[in-house]
Chain A
Amino acid sequence: MNAKGSIAIAITLVALIAAPLLYTAAGNGLFTKPPAPQLAKAVNATECVEPAGWMRANHMNLLTHQRDLIVREGERGRKYRIEGCATCHTKRAEFCDRCHSYAGAKPECFDCHYLP
């Protein structure tokens, strides 16, 4: 068998094996970008404690740092705290949860802290 023939057989084999996988993947929407999460508008304020874009990327770092100061040093009433989020973002299911599930993040904050 010449080289051309073996390449043709290899391509056919790969196509045969991949076809059902690709078909299923396309059917499950793996090749289309999911729609961006629709987040509920904040109430009570027009600006977040930091610019919105920065908060989108870094809010988790703010919270983990401040929580140690609050728990260990008792410095309550700080600018950044998880209860502060809830004053404007009043619906967790329509704000926090939507983006977290879009990004595949599983924060444990709400196991203990009450956000409505």
Chain B
Amino acid sequence: MSELDRRSLLKMGAAAIVGTVIGNGITLYAAPANAGEAAAAAGGNALEVPPKGKARWGMVIDNNKCTAQCTACTAACRAENNVPVFGDERYDGHWIRKVTLTPERGGPEKHLPLLCNHCDQPPCQHVCPVAATFTRHDGIVMIDKHRCIGCRYCMIACPYKARTFVFKETTEWTNKDVPKRAHGVVEKCTFCAHLIDQGKLPACVEACGKSGEAAMLFGDLNNPESAIVKYIRAVATKGVREDLGLEPKVFYTGI
């Protein structure tokens, strides 16, 4: 997408109405543009963090905006969290990855970023034999790598393939404030919990707003006034494999 197009898109994000084309001649009018999206579009990354135990973080990904070529979110995630690329797909870690969906009945392909859905009923946590995977007070499902024994039950349990095993340690630090992972543990998206604790947006959301297509919206699902709740109330959203009853907290529009 050219620079001019992106600018106009950002303007759209800041305007009162966001319209998205979901099919031939069908335009979806979303909720009024809100603080979160406007802040993301403007490049700000402030996040209002409620007191401990009150928040329930969630994400909306507008798949009508997300494009095949854009890798802003995945690149930002790798840089922030020291997720390496070795050039060998057997060893590469993936906290967020772009997935291509091809409809069986034909039609355009969809490209969506898939990350840990931070389920309310996380199967990975239920199967963990050493209680290394846990749900934080704000609903983020995390791995305590100090405890993880690397048995990989959780990788089998996760229907989103959100977890990867650290077969090979990286030696490069792209962000020295965040620990890397030693060989023999399982790693996955943390919703950038270290940034949330500092009142900042996750790296992928910030990158998507800054250099991507501004397709991601992050916020508190418990707060009825938050941008994300208003958006979900106004626009039809869907989780990936909602039929499994895991209650994922990452919602998609346009899939």
Contact = CB atoms under 8 A, between A and B. Distances in A.
Contact of A72 (B144, B177, B182, B183): B144
A9 to B, nearest CB: 56
| Majority secondary structure of chain A interface residues (helix, strand, loop or mixed) | helix
Nearest to A111: B182
B180 A112 contact: yes
Interface string A19-43: 0000000000000000000000000
A67 B182 contact: no
Given A71-B142, A114-B173, A76 B198 contact: yes
B197 A114 contact: no
Nearest to A64: B146
Interface string A67-110: 11001111010000001000000000000000000000000100
Interface string A42-54: 0000000000000
A113 interface: yes
What is the interface residue range for chain A against chain B? 10 to 19
B193 interface: yes
A44 B134 CA distance: 37
B182 A76 contact: no
30 contacts: A64-B146, A67-B146, A68-B144, A71-B142, A71-B144, A71-B146, A72-B134, A72-B142, A72-B144, A73-B52, A74-B52, A74-B137, A74-B138, A74-B193, A74-B197, A76-B194, A76-B197, A76-B198, A83-B177, A108-B182, A112-B179, A112-B180, A112-B181, A112-B182, A113-B179, A114-B173, A114-B176, A114-B177, A114-B179, A114-B180
Interface of B: 52, 134, 136-138, 142, 144-146, 169, 173, 176-177, 179-183, 193-194, 197-198
